[in-house]
Structure 1
Amino acid sequence: MSQKVYLGIDTSCYTTSAALLAEDGSLLAEARQILSVKPGRCGLQQSEMVFQHTRNLPRLVEEVFADKDCTLAAIGVSGYPRPLADSYMPAFLAGMSVARSLAAAYKVPLEVISHQENHLEAGLWSAGGPQAERFLLLHASGGTTDLLLCERREDSRYNLTQVGGSLDLHAGQFVDRIGVALGLQFPTGPALEQLAEQAEKPLELPVSVRKLDVSLSGPATAAMRKLEAGANAASLALGVEHTLAETFARLLRNGAAAYGVRDVILVGGVGSNKYIRKHVEEKLAKRRVRLWVPEGRFSCDNASGCAAVAWRLHKKND
C-alpha cells in the first residue's frame, strides 16, 4: 500500500541535499552532495554554487524516491539563509525552483523556511527535543555563529531572535582558515577533527567571550602565528577545537543565565564536532543546563529539517 511521504530540499552554500520522511516521521531516505571546491581555495562564488546545485538536485531527488511506493504529501524547502525579511542568497534559488515546481505539479503544501530554521528543525527532529516553550539555539557553521532565543508560536512554528554570537569570524571560517593553512581540503572540518584526534593535548589559544558576544579573529590570528612558528599540526588542530568548545560553553552559559532557560541546542557543521559537543555538554551540566545535540550527520547541512517541518505541520491534516 502506498504511504504518504514528506520531501525536504536544502541547497546551502556547500551542500545539495534531499530527504524523505515517512508517515510516522522516520527517515525513509536522504541524499546529499558536497559542492566541489578546487584544492587550496576557501570557497565558491554564488554563481558556481547555483550551477552545481542545479546539476546535483535532480539526481538526489531521484535517489530518495527510487524504488518507493509512496504518495507525496507535503514539501519543505530552505529559501533563504535567516528568518529575516532582507535575508537572501542565490544558492537557495536552485532548491526553491524544484520544490515549487513539484508542489504545483502534485498540488501539495509547500513550506518555505530559512536555512537556519532547517537546522533548528533537523536538531529538534533528530535530538527529540527540547520540548520547552523557550530555549536557546547556537547555530555554528561556516556562515553563521549565532545565538538565538527560540520561542514556540501558536502555529507550531518558532520565533528566532538573535541575542548574541560572533562579532567577526564565524566558527567555520576559523576552522577553514587554519585547516587550509594546514593543507586540508575545504571545507576542512571533518579532516581537522581527524587530525586533532592524533594530539596528546591542545595547543593553548585565547578565548574571547564578553557576555553574549564572542570574537574569533584573535584566536585565528594566534593560531596562524603558532603555525608559522612551527607548531605541531595535530596539537594546533586540537587547540582550535578546544578554543571553540570553551567559547561555545561560556556563551551558552551566559545566555542561559540571561534568559532564564535550562535547555540549549547546538547545530551546524561545527556543532557536529565530537570534541566540542562533549566539552560543552560537561561544562553546561555543571550549571544544570541541558545540551541537546542532533545526530552528527543531521547537525551539518542536510535537508532533514525541511522534511521534518513539512511532516510536523501537515501530518495532522492528512
Structure 2
Amino acid sequence: MDSYHLGVDTSAYTTSVAVLNTEGRIIIDLRKPLKVKKGSLGLRQQEAVFQHINNLPEMFSLIAEEIDVKKIKTISASIKPRNVIDSYMPVFKVAQGHAFILAKTLGVDYKEFSHQDGHIAAGILNCSIQYLKRFLALHISGGTTELLLIENKKNNFSIEHIGGTLDISAGQLIDRIGIELGLPFPCGPYLDELSINGSFIKKNIPVSTNRTWINFSGPETFLKRIIKQKIVRPENIALELFNCIAKSLSNIIEDAIRVYKIKDILVIGGVGSNNYIRKKLEETIVKKGIGKLFFPDRILCTDNAVGIAYLGLTKDGI
C-alpha cells in the first residue's frame, strides 16, 4: 500500500506544506508567501509567526481533502535555520509545534531537520547528485550565502561551512538595492525581470573575494550611490548587480574546487533561481570545464517543504 510523507516548513517569508509518496513523487506542494508592507525590508519575527499560525490550518485542511491522512507514514518539520548549535529563529517553532502535534495525533513517526537541510534535499530530489557521497553546495537565499561541503550520510547531511559572505548575503544585497529602486519586497523576481533589458555600464562595480569568502558591502555602497545620482537606468543597475554577484560566486566556487578537489556543486536557495546568475555560473564554471553544476527546478529553489518531506522519507533526522 502506498504511503505518504508530509513536510512542514515555516521560514522567514513563506508558509509551506508538502506531501511525497514512497517513490519520492511530489503529491502536494502548498506555499503561501507572508505579506510584507510596501517599502519594508522584511517582517519582524512575531509578525511572521502570527501569519504562519493563521496559514497552516487552511493548508492542513486542503491536504485532508486531497489524500487519505491515514496513509501518512512520517511527518517532518524544519525546526531551525541550520543544523548547528545556537541556530534559532522563532518562526520555525511554528512548524515544529504543528508537525509534532499532528504526528502524535495520527500516531506516526515525527522527524526534525533544519531549513538548510530541506533546501539541500529539494535540490537533490530526482537528481543524480543524490547518489554522491560528497559534494559542494552553494546556498544563496534571502538571508544566507554559504558555500558548503556536504557528506551525504544515512541519518542526515553532515555539513561543513567552508565559504560564503562575511557581511551581508546575496539576497540581502538584492533586496536592499531593489528597495532603493522602489521595488516591492522581496525584490529578486522584479530585478530579474528588469535585468533582461539591461546593459552594462562603464563604471566597474567592486568585486571583493578572498579565497572562498565574499564581502558585498562594497557593491551595496557603490550601487546605492549610483541610484542616488539618477544617471543610470534601473534595468542597467539590475544587470550590474547580478553580474557582480555571479562573478563573486564564481570566484569562490573555483577556489573551493581547487582546494577540496570536488567538482560537483549543487546550487540551492531562492537566489539560485535567478536567470542571469545561472547563465553566468554555467559560462564560468561548466563551459570552461572547471566543475559540474546541479540546479534544481526553479520552483524548488525558493523556500518549500518538499525537501523536508523528502528527508522524512529518506533520512533519520537530527
TM-score range, shorter chain: over 0.9
Runs of 4+ in 1 over 6 A off after TM superposition: none
| Distance of 1:194 and 1:50 partners within structure 2 | 30
Alpha-carbon contact 1:30-1:64 (below 8 Å) kept = no
Q: Paired residue for 1:180?
A: 179
- Equivalent-residue separation in structure 2 for 1:297 and 1:104 (angstroms): 31
Instruction: Specify the alignment match of 2:77 in structure 1.
Output: 77
Corresponding position of 2:212? 212
Aligned residue number for residue 13 of structure 1: 12
Deviation, structure 1 residue 132 = 2.1
Kept in 2: contact 1:126–1:298 (CA 8 A):
no
User: Which of 59-68 and 137-146 deviates more?
Assistant: 59-68
Look up the match of 1:247: 248
Larger mean CA deviation between 305-314 and 116-125 belongs to 305-314
Q: Note the C-alpha offset of 1:30.
A: 0.7
Report the Cα offset of residue 24 of structure 1: 1.2
Q: Report SS of the residue matched to 2:136.
A: strand
Alignment of 1:28-39 (within 5 A): 28-39=27-38
Distance in 1, Cα, partners of 2:152 & 2:43? 35
Contact 2:136 2:262 survives alignment (8 Å): yes
Output the amino acid matched with 2:50.
F
Which deviations, in whole Å up to 9, do the C-alpha atoms of 1:79-100 show, x marking residues without a partner?
0011112111100011111100
SS at match of 1:200: coil
In structure 2, the partner of 1:238 is 239
Please list the CA deviations of residues 276-316 of structure 1 after superposition, one character each: whole Å capped at 9, or x if unmatched. Answer: 011112211214310011101101111111011111238xx
Partner residue, 2:294: 292
TM-score of the superposed pair, with normalisation by structure 1:
0.94
Q: For structure 2, which runs of at least 5 residues remain unmatched after alignment?
A: none
1:103, CA displacement in angstroms?
1.1
Partner of 2:111: 111
Q: Distance in 2 between matches of 1:131 and 1:151?
A: 11
After TM superposition, give the deviation of residue 226 of structure 1 in Å: 1.0
Q: Which amino acid aligns with 1:251?
A: I
For the residues of structure 2 that align with 1:81 and 1:89, how far apart are their CA atoms?
7
CA deviation after TM superposition for structure 1 residue 228, in Å = 1.1
Q: SS at 2:98's partner residue?
A: helix
Identity %: 37
| Distance apart, 1:244 and its partner CA | 0.8
Distance in 2 separating the partners of 1:64 and 1:197: 38
The TM-score, its normalising length taken from structure 2, stands at 0.94
Q: CA deviation at 1:262?
A: 1.2
1:169, distance to aligned residue in structure 2 (A): 0.8
Partners of 1:289 and 1:261 in 2: how far apart?
Answer: 8
1:129-278 matches, within 5 Å, as 129-153=129-153, 155-201=154-200, 204-230=204-230, 231-278=232-279
Is there any run of 5+ residues in structure 1 with no aligned partner, and where? Answer: none
Does the 8 Å contact 1:174/1:220 carry over to 2? yes
Q: Report deviation, 1:205.
A: 1.8
When residues 19 and 181 of structure 1 are mapped into structure 2, their CA distance, relative to the original with a 3 A threshold, is same
Count of aligned positions = 312
| 1:130-159 CA distance string (max 9 Å, x none) | 532111111111111111110122x24210
In 2, the alpha carbon distance for the partners of 1:15 and 1:115 equals 12
Distance 2:315 2:158 in 1: 15
Bigger shift: residues 280-289 or 157-166:
280-289
Alignment partner, residue 43 of structure 1 = 42
Asked if structure 2 preserves the Cα contact closer than 8 Å seen for 1:209 and 1:250, the reply is yes
Q: Is the 8 A contact 1:148 1:163 kept in 2?
A: yes
Corresponding residue of 1:304: 306
**1: distance between equivalents of 2:212 and 2:73?**
41
- Tell me what 1:24 maps to: 23
The answer to whether the 8 A contact 2:175-2:187 is kept is: yes
